[in-house]
Amino acid sequence: MARLILINGMPGVGKSTLARRFAADHPGTLVCDIDLLRTFVSGWRDDFVGAGARIRPAALGMVRGYLSDSGDVVLPQLLARVSQLERFERAAHDAGAEFVEVMLEAVEGDAVSRFHGRDDGNDPWHPIVSEIVAESGGDEHLRAYVAKLTELVARRPATKVVPSVVGEVDATYGALHALLGEC
């Protein structure tokens, strides 16, 4: 059975890194990175949030189609609203696939410092996200998201929590593998 593996968590906690590594170790897996997809929408730099809202239905269609016909999908994406999670969960079930929800968890202070320590040279959207965070309240905004994600895990007991520690990518990846039953 194909799986949609959602890797959720704060910005900078390692979602994309783990998704790419998982796909590299599992040939044929699609990495559906919505942040990358939004850069294909014209004007995305001027309306980053709007571009994300516009591309999400296309991502859902891609996920559904790939799961139905090709195999696993890994989705590295911060989703803090149950309604958004349920859209992707429904897409997986519509395709006859399993939905695996993973939360990469960092302690609050670590999540904030990791956001600020991101290497903005790799992804063109990082400076825009930094501006959005700064305009939304900076570190307090980030701490509020940590709290939202903590509440989300409490509301969704099937969520598999993976601790993410700075500089411990191998250990984090090993924990993800163990939770997916691949050890």
Note the helical H segments in the chain.
15-25, 34-38, 48-69, 82-94, 108-116, 126-135, 139-155, 169-179
Widest CA span of the chain, in angstroms? Answer: 44
Evaluate the CA torsion angle 64, 66, 68, 71 in order and state its sign.
Answer: negative
CATH class of the domain whose range is 3-178: alpha beta
Instruction: Using DSSP, state whether 166 is helix, strand or coil.
Output: coil
Cα torsion through 59, 60, 64, 66, rounded to 10: 10
Angle at 146 between CA 100 and CA 44, to 5 degrees: 80
Contact 67, 91 (CB under 8 A): yes
Q: What is the pLDDT along the chain (183 residues), one digit of tens a residue?
A: 999 999 999 988 999 999 999 999 999 999 999 999 999 999 999 999 999 999 999 999 999 999 999 999 999 999 999 999 999 999 999 999 999 999 999 865 688 888 887 766 678 888 888 898 899 999 999 999 899 999 999 999 999 999 888 888 899 999 999 999 885
Q: In what order do the strands lie in the sheet with 3-9?
A: 30-31, 73-76, 3-9, 98-105, 160-163
Eight-state DSSP code of residue 159: P
Q: Fill in the amino acid letter for 139.
A: D
Evaluate the CA torsion angle 60, 63, 67, 73 in order and state its sign.
Answer: negative
Task: Please tell me the pTM assigned to this model.
Answer: 0.92
